[in-house]
Structure formats: C-alpha cells, structure tokens
Structure 1
Amino acid sequence: MARNNKKVGAYPSGIILFSLTLALFLIGFCGLLAIQSKRLVTYIRENYEVRAFLDKGIKLKKINALYKTIADRPYILKANGTPQINLVTKEEAAKEFIAETKEDFSKFLGENPLHDSYRIKLNEAYFEEAKLQEVKQDLEQIDGVFEVVYQENLVDKINQNITQIYIVMSAFALILLVIIVVLMNNTIRLALHSQRMLIRSMQLVGATNAFITRPFLGRGMWQGFLAGVVAVLLLLVGWEVAKHNMPELAAFQSIEKMIILLAGIIGLGVLIGFLSTFQAVNRYLGLTLDELY
C-alpha cells in the first residue's frame, strides 16, 4: 500500500485563502469608502457658495470690473483656470425667490428690492468658519460690494460631522485589521498542526530553523498574494456594478488613489501571510516533544 508522504510547507489552504480574501475585501471596501468620501467632501466644499451682493443701481461696466477684482483673490476656486464666479441679476434672483416661495412680492411692493449678486465658490482650504469670516471682510472692503452673506455655523457643523465619520471609519478599519491578524494566526496555526511532527523530525536531523521556516513562509506569502488579487478583482467588479447602477459615482472616482489602494491590498495580503505564517511556525519550533502531543 502506497504511503502518503507529507511535504514540508504543504497544508490545507482553502480555508486560509477564503478567510484572508474576505478579510482583505472588507479592508479594501473600507478604503474604497474612505477614498470616495474624501472626493465627496471635496465636492461639497468646492460647491459651497458665498454670495456677494452688489450696490443697487450699479452699472454693467462696474459689475465687470468687480468680476476681475474678485477673480484675482487667492481664495477663489478656479476650474481649468476659470474663476468659479457667477453673476445673478436681481431679475434672476426674483424669479428664483418666487419659484421657491410661490409668492410674487412685486405685486405689493411695486418694485424689485433685490440686489445683483455674485455667487462665489472658494478653494477647499477656506472651508472653515474663521477663514470664511476673513473672506467676508475682504470682499466687503471692495468698492461696489454691498454685503457678503454665507450660512454661518453650517461650515463648522459639516466639518465636525466629517471628522466624526473619518474617526469612526478609521477605528473600524483598525479593529478589523486586528481581528484579521488574530484570525489568520489561529487559522494558519490550525493548518500547520498536521505538520508539527514533520517539523520536529527535521529538527532532530539537524535542520536549521531558517531552513524549516522557508517553505512555509513562501507558501504563506503566495497565499497572501492570491487572496489579495482575488479581493482586488471582487472590489473592481463591485465598483463597476455600483457605477452601473449609480452613474454619478464616476464623478468621485480617483484613478491614482484607486491604484494605490488596490496595490496596498495585495501588499497587505502578502505581509499578513508572511507574519502570520512566521509566528505560527515559530510557535511549533519552540515546543517540546511532550507539548507537540
């Protein structure tokens, strides 16, 4: 009857690949959420508008001059070199007001009391209360600007909520990583249990710890690499499905950050495979014969 000889470094790996793939997928999913949320935060901040109301009766020539003056300010957001400043005439503002409130004030006032205004988008770096106050004061010093208005305290509330979301996501990812490392250590340790006697036999014939550990480490790193590749493929498929169902997600996609994230997942898989295998093998290398039984 043929004898089933065990090969050093060979052990059941299906459960390890499944567990590590699932773990890396969850970590990658958290990373993907973080990237997209950062893009979404940038989108929200850069689409926040400050309104600069102009003096009543201001002439068109003066309005155009004000545009150039405001556009030169360092805090003005520029998209492809174009300052994000939009003129809203008092007639357009009246139409917006009537559409929102369903009330035509001109019927009982007899005139349009609204001002022409510029709606201004700012650089993301100025999305905080103190800097918005500085922007407000600077704009109000410009000749022809009647008043500058923005929603006070809203910015701080948005920033606080964003910070809390990042803290929760970071804590979740860290806890998940710790759980994964512990789980993989236990899984690989159980997988190596079948080879504990083979490891002991190699020690008895004079094999060094490095010689014994090498094939296990190679297999662990290869498993980590495969798990990382599968997790990356699952993430890409999931992302494409999400974009198909919600096309607006494409606006928040960052190719460079996606590549870094996906490469990081594969690298993390290799690292976890190496460290978990190294720790598990070293545990068996240090056991006595009695403890092996």
Structure 2
Amino acid sequence: MARKKKKVGKYPAGLILFSMTLALFLIGFCGLLAIQSKRLVTYIRENYEVRAFLDKDVKPAAIERVKESLKSRPYVAIANDTPQVSFVSKEQAARDFIAETKENFEEFLEDNPLRDSYRIKLREDYFDETKLKAIKDDLDQIDGVADVVYQENIVDSINRNITKIYIVMSVFAVFLLLIIVVLMNNTIRLALYSQRLLIRSMQLVGATNGFITRPFLLRGVSQGFISGLIAAGLVAGTLQLALYNLPELTVLQEPVKLVLLLGGIILLGVFIGLLSTFQAVNRYLGVHLDDLH
C-alpha cells in the first residue's frame, strides 16, 4: 500500500482548535461580563433617585415653583428632552407605603404624617458620594423643601465594588491571553514537529522561507478564524440561554457592544493563530540539521 505523502502546512488540528476555542470563549465570557456589569452600573445610576420632601400644607403654587427650580438644576438627568423630576403626593406616598408594608397606619392615625415630595433622577456623572452631599446642600436651600433624603454610603459601595470587579476581570483576561499565546505556541510547535524534515528538505532544494511559511500561516489564520467563530457562537448562545432563564437581563443588553465583542473574539483568534504559527515555524526554519532528530 502506497504511503500517503505529507503536504506542507498540513498537521493534526483538533487539539489546536479545541484549545483555542476554549480560551477564546473564556476571554469572550469575561468581556461579556464586563459589558453587562458596565450596563448594570449605568442602569443603577440612571434610576437612582434623590427625594426632596416639601413643607407641610405647601400651596400648589409653591409646589410648581419648587418643580421649576428643580428642573433648572444642572445635575438633574434629562431623558427625551424632559428633566427627570416627578411629583409624589402624600396621598400617593401613603398608598405606596401601605402596599409595601401591608400595614395601614390610617387605622390608628387620624392624619397622614407623610409629605409631598419630588423624586429626582441624577446625571450619571454625579453618582458620587461627595457630589451627592453637595446636591443635598443645594436642594436644602430651595424655599419650600423641608428635607432631602438619599441612600448614603450605597454610592461609594457600588463604585468600589464595580472597580474591584473590573480589576479582577481585567487581570484574569490578560493572564488568560498570555496563557493562550504560550499554549498555542507550544501546541503548534508540537504539531509542526512531524513536518520538520519536510521543512528542511524544502530548504535544501532552494525554497525560500516565505514560500515555506505561507501554507502554515494560512492554516493558522483559518484555524484562528474557525476557533473565533465557534467561540463567538458559544458566547452568543450563553447570553441567549441566560436571557431565556432570566428575562430581567434584557434591560442590560447593548447590541452594538455585543457585536463588537463577538467580532473582537474572531479577530483575536485570527491574530493569535497567525502569531503563534509564525513563531513556531520560524523556530524550525532556524534549527540546525543535527537538532532535527
């Protein structure tokens, strides 16, 4: 039976595809978590409210005057050209309180102790404990405002935790990227070991390094592309599975960034396949004949 001839650039690729796909998926998953975390922070900031309680028995004219004053503040969020300032009457506040606590204070209190208030959403860049204190001081100066309330310490706590998450994920992603480059380099070198004599034979008959390297590089690029494509599909599938089980995550989705992430995974696969193959082939091109055996 005739022995099958080896063709330059051909070598077992199963392990390489598996290793690269797994590593790219983990990197993509870290990127997905980073996007979701960033969007979650933005969502929290966009829905964070400061409450300005008004004086008791405030007149309708005074209520409207306070509203206009609030709308002119630079730290008030704008959505669809509308300042995010909403009025909550003391009657509505009482209904909300009873609905949340299941306790009807009106049964033993003759008067509604709650006050009319405004709920104010802030611009994202004011999501800072120091700035919130300054906002509180500013709102306290408005005539008709009795008290200003916001959740203290929660802002700095969220900012600190998010910073820690970003640092951990960034370090993990960089560490994983270094591992994948080293792993792919070694894997491809082992795969090319079977072709070391073929590479030397081509050199002996006058083939240039560029001519020898080209088939390997094309194969490395194709492997990187396929691995990136599979990894991007796995990341997208994981996200869809999460959305199916947790529909609440829909508000955190950013389609443009997701497309950029998936494209980045594919490009990263191509780059790593090209770089690792180039380094591995060059090592064999420069090996002395006695070291090939």
TM range (shorter): over 0.9
Q: Residue 230 of structure 1 aligns with which residue?
A: 230
Q: Could you tell me how far 1:189 is from its partner in structure 2? A: 0.8
The CA distance in 2 between the partners of 1:217 and 1:57, in whole Å, is 79
Instruction: Indicate yes or no: 2:195 matched with 1:192.
Output: no
Q: Residue 76 of structure 1 aligns with which residue?
A: 76
The CA distance in 2 between the partners of 1:3 and 1:178, in whole Å, is 40
Structure 1 counterpart SS, 2:50: strand
The CA distance in 2 between the partners of 1:213 and 1:204, in whole Å, is 15
Q: Residue 182 of structure 2 aligns with which residue?
A: 182
Q: Could you tell me how far 1:250 is from its partner in structure 2? A: 1.7
The CA distance in 2 between the partners of 1:28 and 1:154, in whole Å, is 30
Q: Residue 167 of structure 1 aligns with which residue?
A: 167
The CA distance in 2 between the partners of 1:198 and 1:213, in whole Å, is 12
Q: What percent identity do the matched residue pairs reach?
A: 68
The one-character-per-residue Cα deviations of 1:70-115 (angstroms, maximum 9, x if unpaired) are: 1222211222223222212222223344455555555665423322
Q: Could you tell me how far 1:268 is from its partner in structure 2? A: 0.1
Alpha carbons of structure 1 residues 178 and 156: separation in structure 2 relative to 1, 3 Å = same
How many residues are aligned here? 293
Structure 1 counterpart SS, 2:152: coil
Structure 2 counterpart SS, 1:12: coil
After TM superposition, list the pairs within 5 Å mapping 1:86-125 onto structure 2.
86-100=86-100, 104-105=104-105, 110-125=110-125
After TM superposition, list the pairs within 5 Å mapping 1:47-58 onto structure 2.
47-58=47-58
Q: Could you tell me how far 1:69 is from its partner in structure 2? A: 2.0
**What TM-score do you get using the length of structure 2 for normalisation?**
0.94
How big is the alpha-carbon RMSD for the aligned residues of Structure 1 and Structure 2? 1.7
After TM superposition, list the pairs within 5 Å mapping 1:1-293 onto structure 2.
1-100=1-100, 104-105=104-105, 110-293=110-293
The one-character-per-residue Cα deviations of 1:149-191 (angstroms, maximum 9, x if unpaired) are: 1122221111111111111111111111111111111111111
Q: Could you tell me how far 1:36 is from its partner in structure 2? A: 1.0
The CA distance in 2 between the partners of 1:104 and 1:201, in whole Å, is 92
The CA distance in 2 between the partners of 1:171 and 1:246, in whole Å, is 28
Structure 1 counterpart SS, 2:27: helix
Question: Higher mean Cα deviation, 17-26 or 81-90?
Answer: 81-90
The CA distance in 2 between the partners of 1:129 and 1:239, in whole Å, is 33
Structure 1 counterpart SS, 2:238: helix
The CA distance in 1 between the partners of 2:260 and 2:98, in whole Å, is 49
The CA distance in 2 between the partners of 1:175 and 1:202, in whole Å, is 38
Q: Could you tell me how far 1:218 is from its partner in structure 2? A: 1.2
One-letter amino acid of the counterpart of residue 148, structure 2: V
Task: Mark the runs of 5 or more structure 1 residues left unpaired by the alignment.
Answer: none
Task: Mark the runs of 5 or more structure 2 residues left unpaired by the alignment.
Answer: none
